[in-house]
Amino acid sequence: MNQLSTTSTQPLHAVAIPADLIPDNDEERLQELHSYQILYTPPEEAFDNITQMMAQVFSTPMAFISLVDQQTVYYKSQVGPFGRPQVPRSDSLCSLAIFQDQPTVFEDASTVERLRGNPFVDAEGGIRFYAGAPLLTPTGHRLGTACIVDIQPRTLSAADIQLLERFAWQVVHEMRIRLAAQELDITRRQLQASEERLREEIAESEVARQRIAESEARYRSLAAELEVRVDERTHALADANRHLQVVNAELRRSNDNLQQFAYVASHDLKEPLRKIQSFGDLLTGQFAAELPPEARDLVGRMQAASERMTSLIGDILAYSRIATVQEPFTWVSLNTVLEQVRTDLAPIIQQSRAVLEIGPLPDVHGDPSHLWQLFQNLISNALKFTTPGTPARGWVSARRLERQEVPPALATRARSCWEVSVRDEVIGFDEKYLERIFQLFQRLNGRSHYPGSGIGLAICKRVVDRHGGWLTASSQPGQGSTFRVYLPDDAA
């Protein structure tokens, strides 16, 4: 059979092993195989007896005990004319036999499509019959095979297959006995060394006993001290946990009170503002002719201030409602949400001659009204922060990120996620202010240039946080901005 020229007992040079010859647990399998310390070792009578019995019982010219290493298949024992201690793993039929717990049988290997091109099958006088039972360890790993080979086609009965499995079990049993004997020998040598050291200590007689007594006394003292410290630390930890639970409860109650206060206070503040605006309308309407220019200017300023305050209160209410008014999550089409946002912002888009391009977007698990608030604020910013006289342009797109692409902020919560990007060509900002822009009442531009309350992006962050996501942005002054919303892909 196309024999190799080498008889080396060292592993062959590394070659690429086809992926379909590598089991999923190959790394753990190889670790256990190497732990037996049996690879590339001299012949041993126990294993040679097994291969001789296999050849006699099954009347085959060849019998092997094979171990499938990383690059090679090593024959711990063999009977027959083959004569090689190892072959490349990619060529050995034993590499196929470690994929299942049951024996692998090829009655005529020359007719098996998977074996076409195999040098040991295609060669003149090559392998025709092969039967290999995996060496299955108690941990479930298949380390190699107990196999029989013939250059003539053959069949095996069910009883023969069971007997071959019994031989494989015997091989594993011998390997475990061999490993136990090695460990026993190591233990024996360690015990001998310990006995020698003990004799040296006994030779010192009274001095050694005194030292042992002192050591035992120190040990008991330290053990007692350690037990006291552990008990003290356990009680301290229990007290700290109870205190933490009280603090958390107080914090939750305080947050609930603050949210309720913001909601009620905003409602109560709207009423006097409506009266201020109504009185201002009366003054500029019915009594406009009687007011001097200075008074009309003051009334105009008063109405502008009340409108800003009304807008601010509305934003505060929206921010508060994210935590106080929560609907159960449902599957939401972001395409539908963005089209609604486009419709709601149509007057601003037409007035500013803006262009808004929306690509295909996914369905996500969330609160429809809160998701509308999120994208309405992001797109409003894209339309608002533009250079005077320049039409705004905005793009909305999405892509799915697999586990290796998920941002670290979500890596522990989501196996995959959606990245929804809102990109614009507006004035941009310095990224050193990135954390600041998502905080309440934070503005990077004066109110005289760009209107707003400084709450919009804080609302966006709170919505994204509630959905278990992450919000970030990248920008450069004068070069536009890209806000990226990462939402978990609950369908994954």
Higher pLDDT, 388 or 132: 132
Q: Report the distance separating Cα 473 and Cα 482, nearest Å.
A: 6
Q: Hey, is 65 helix, strand or coil? A: strand
Least confident of 105-109, 246-250, 358-362, 448-452: 448-452
* Contact partners, residue 309, CB within 8 Å, separation at least 6: 269, 273
Is 76 in a helix, a strand, or coil? Answer: strand
One-letter identity of residue 472: T
**pLDDT at residue 418 tops 80:** yes
Q: Which of 455, 453, 459 is nearest to 440 (CA)?
A: 455
Distance CA 422, CA 361 (A): 12
Q: Which residues contact residue 258 at a Cβ distance below 8 angstroms, ignoring those fewer than 6 apart?
A: none
**Tokens representing 391?**
């039409």
The pLDDT of residue 448? 47
**What per-residue confidence (pLDDT) applies to 11?**
45
Mean pLDDT, residues 130-153: 97
Cα distance between residue 282 and residue 284, in whole Å:
6
pLDDT at position 268 is: 66
Most trustworthy range by pLDDT among 130-139, 206-215, 306-315: 130-139
* Helical (H) or strand (E) element with 417: strand 417-424
Q: What is the pLDDT at residue 233?
A: 87
Q: Does the structure show a pLDDT above 90 at 65? A: yes
Contact between 315 and 455 (Cβ < 8 Å): yes
Whether the predicted pLDDT of 381 surpasses 80: no
Phi/psi region, residue 468 (left: phi>0; alpha: psi -120 to 50; beta: rest), is left
Exposure class string for 422-448: b at 16+ Cβ within 10 A, else e: bbbbbbbbeeeeeeebbeeeeeeeeee
Token readout for 121 is 């099958």
Q: Return the percentage of the chain with pLDDT > 90, whole number.
A: 38
Give the per-residue pLDDT at 416. 85
Q: Are 472 and 457 in contact (CB under 8 A)?
A: no
Q: Is 79 a residue whose pLDDT tops 70?
A: yes
What pLDDT score was predicted for residue 264?
A: 65
Instruction: Single out the residue of 159, 135, 141, 136 nearest to residue 58, CA to CA.
Output: 159
Domains parsed from the chain with CATH numbers: 19-180 (3.30.450.40), 223-325 (1.10.287.130), 328-488 (3.30.565.10)
- Predicted local confidence at residue 408, as pLDDT: 82
Q: How confident is the model at residue 6 (pLDDT cuts 50, 70, 90)?
A: very low
Residue 442 has pLDDT above 70, yes or no: no
Which residues, other chains included, contact 387 with Cβ-Cβ below 8 Å and sequence gap of 6+? 426, 427
3-state secondary structure 317-343: HHHHHHHHCCCCCEEEEHHHHHHHHHH
Of residues 155 and 389, the one with the higher pLDDT is 155
Q: Which range (2-11, 82-91, 279-288, 348-357) has the least confidence?
A: 2-11
pLDDT at 237: 84
DSSP characters for 168-219?
HHHHHHHHHHHHHHHHHHHHHHHHHHHHHHHHHHHHTTHHHHHHHHHHHHHH
Top pLDDT among 6 and 333 is at 333
In the predicted model, what is the mean pLDDT of residues 50-71? 97
Calculate the average pLDDT of the chain: 82
Residue type at 418 in one-letter notation = W
Give the Å distances, CA to CA, from 163 to 79, 103, 131, 184, 359. 18, 11, 12, 31, 65
Highest mean pLDDT among 20-29, 44-53, 366-375: 44-53
Cα-atom radius of gyration of the chain, to the nearest Å?
40
Digit-coded pLDDT (tens) for 223-232: 888 888 888 8
Q: What percent of the chain has pLDDT over 70?
A: 77
Question: What's the rounded mean pLDDT across residues 27-47?
Answer: 96
Q: pLDDT value at position 227?
A: 87
Q: Which pLDDT score, from 0 to 100, does residue 98 have?
A: 95
| Mean pLDDT along residues 441-450 | 50
For residue 118, the 8-state DSSP code is: -
Q: What sign does the dihedral 231-235-236-241 (CA atoms) show? A: positive
For residue 68, which of 17, 106, 112, 105 has the smallest C-alpha distance?
17
CB under 8 Å, gap of 24 or more: what pairs does 105-109 form? 105/130, 105/131, 105/156, 105/161, 106/130, 106/131, 107/153, 107/154, 107/155, 107/156, 108/153
In the numeric block, the tokens 């309407």 are attached to 285
Find which of 13-22, 92-101, 208-217, 444-453 is predicted with most confidence, using mean pLDDT: 92-101
Model confidence band, residue 1 (pLDDT cutoffs 50, 70, 90):
very low
Q: What are 253's two structure tokens?
A: 């109650």
The reported pTM is 0.41
